[in-house]
Amino acid sequence: GLLGAGAYAANFAVVYNGRKLSNVGELSFANKVRIPPLLEGKPDGSGRRVFRLTAQTGESKLLPGKQTPTWGINGALLGPTLRARRGQKVSVSLTNSLPDATTLHWHGMHLPAEMDGGPHQMVRPGADWNPEWEISQPAATLWYHPHPHGSTADHVLRGLAGMFIIEDDEADRSGLPNSYGVDDIPLILQDRQFNDDGTLDLSGATFMQSLAGVGSPGVLGDTILVNGTYDPHVQVSTTLVRFRLLNGSGARTYNLGFTDSREFHLVAQENGLLEKPLPLRRLQLTPGERAEIVVAFKPGERVVLRSFEPELGLQFPTARLGGQEDTFDMIEVRARDRLTESRPLPDTLRGAPSAISVPEKARTRSFAFNSFTINGKSMDMSRIDEVCPAGEVEIWEVTGDAEVVHNFHVHGATFNVIEYAGKKPDAWLRGPKDTVRVPPGDTVRLAVALPPHTDAKTPYMYHCHILRHEDLGMMGQFTVVEPGTESGAPRTIDSAH
């Protein structure tokens, strides 16, 4: 790319002073982790579930003895966990009480583009937004966050994000732990940088600042928050616990494992359950990725969930994304002295295979990352980059920048990774996904099940989920139209709102 290693290293040094970061030994895990309140929506007269959300400013006690101005949904920091079942109609009523215009995007949700909460669905300060859709996809751990073009990093780092859990009959039948906050625990993993006075250091988080900081890996913090709790522990009371892990960070990748290297089981990726539990000791999550894991505990024990510096030879090549080489303790798990015996981990999690089947004549689209552009283009709100046939399966191949690690997220769709850097993907990458790490200088091939909802004038997004890269323009737009009508569909739209 245009950016030499020198510019990259210089910026890296600004963030890091040239050293690797670690918090190991610095934490006492003194604070009980906050569990976001669960909202299941109030049924209205017409059978919809109504969720009332207000985006607001507030103050949070994060670091000892300090107050931090933060943003949140229905509170000062982060938002409630929303939960709905497949087949339900949901209706959200969002009020924007922030000083800035923002949006709320349903990351991983299958829904019409108009309801998606992307950069075209801006909500002005003081205004409301009322999307409605039917939950039409299998059980999964999704999330929501703002998506205003150019300010997504700023808004997310101030604290706007939350989980959206979808349940269905198949997930019920799987027998996985599902008692929210007890044996089914959300863990939103984020890093932050603080100023001495306790305020968030958002430098580099806004679009103009990021222009000056092109080449830096994105906004990395030296402090870990889990569910918005600093120095956290979580108490568990059952022999098996399901953790829903979300990397909600701006740029940091986590290579997760436990300090005793115990085995755990991966049971779901971003868009739903695997066919059967997969034993692992390490799991990588790039920004925006989610995973559900089940971990066994013995009475009275304590173990720390840590992000490890990747070992050479591990399935992830050591990356040049800053932070990937750092070691961070995330949260201590404390098992009670008496544990309730859980149902055993099931052998199979789904009734039928979940793999997306790729038709022989599937069309291939290619996306090349280079110098914070995709196919040489920077995001333009009025340009439709790709027009796609509704409901079809396509191969999307994404080639990484040789110099900076990125990842790739597609709105409104589920994909399978069918090839990773020329090889069959490792088992832990084979589930239903919506975000994937892109190997630097190499290609990842995806089978993308495109959304069924046609709308020639409202695009979905695809982008790098390192938030500052996305804000810098590493994003493109696709519309979905009736198959066969692609060539007549508009390639530009009115983006003035």
Please report, as ranges, the residues that interact with ligand C2O according to CB under 6 A. Answer: 105, 107, 145, 147, 288, 409, 411, 461, 463, 465
The distance of closest approach from Cβ of residue 276 to ligand C2O in the complex, given in angstroms and rounded to an integer, is: 28
Instruction: Please say whether the beta carbons of 394 and 375 come within 8 A.
Output: no
Which H or E run includes 469? helix 467-472
Instruction: Please say whether the beta carbons of 476 and 461 come within 8 A.
Output: yes
* Part of the chain binding Cu ion (CB under 5 A), chosen from 201-209, 316-324, 418-426, 460-468: 460-468
* Residue 288, contacted partner among ligand C2O, Cu ion, none, CB below 5-8 A by kind: ligand C2O
Output 332 or 386, the one with its CB closest to ligand C2O: 386
Q: How far apart are CA 72 and CA 486, in angstroms?
A: 40
* Part of the chain binding Cu ion (CB under 5 A), chosen from 226-234, 356-364, 409-417, 447-455: 409-417
Output 51 or 462, the one with its CB closest to ligand C2O: 462
DSSP state of 113: G
The distance of closest approach from Cβ of residue 123 to Cu ion in the complex, given in angstroms and rounded to an integer, is: 17
* Residue 147, contacted partner among ligand C2O, Cu ion, none, CB below 5-8 A by kind: ligand C2O
The distance of closest approach from Cβ of residue 399 to ligand C2O in the complex, given in angstroms and rounded to an integer, is: 20
Instruction: Report CA torsion sign: 231, 325, 416, 473.
Output: positive
The distance of closest approach from Cβ of residue 166 to ligand C2O in the complex, given in angstroms and rounded to an integer, is: 16
Instruction: Please say whether the beta carbons of 196 and 223 come within 8 A.
Output: no
Question: Rounded to 5 degrees, what are φ and ψ at 50?
Answer: -105, 125
- Residue showing the smallest CB distance to ligand C2O in the complex: 107
Name which position in 83, 155, 406, 463 contacts Cu ion (CB under 5 A).
406
* Residue 145, contacted partner among Cu ion, ligand C2O, none, CB below 5-8 A by kind: ligand C2O
Count Cα atoms within 13 angstroms, Cβ side, for 324.
24
Q: Which residues contact 361 (CB under 8 A, 6 or more apart)?
A: none
The distance of closest approach from Cβ of residue 160 to ligand C2O in the complex, given in angstroms and rounded to an integer, is: 12
Q: How far apart are CA 96 and CA 127, in angstroms?
A: 6
* Part of the chain binding Cu ion (CB under 5 A), chosen from 30-38, 102-110, 198-206, 442-450: 102-110
Output 107 or 433, the one with its CB closest to ligand C2O: 107
The distance of closest approach from Cβ of residue 105 to ligand C2O in the complex, given in angstroms and rounded to an integer, is: 5
The distance of closest approach from Cβ of residue 162 to ligand C2O in the complex, given in angstroms and rounded to an integer, is: 12
288: left (phi over 0), alpha (psi -120 to 50) or beta: left
Output 107 or 320, the one with its CB closest to ligand C2O: 107
Q: How far apart are CA 179 and CA 185, in angstroms?
A: 8
Determine how β-strand 328-340 pairs with β-strand 232-238: parallel
* Residue 464, contacted partner among ligand C2O, Cu ion, none, CB below 5-8 A by kind: Cu ion
Question: Rounded to 5 degrees, what are φ and ψ at 471?
Answer: -60, -35
Which residues of this protein are in contact with Cu ion, per CB under 5 A?
107, 406, 411, 464, 466, 469
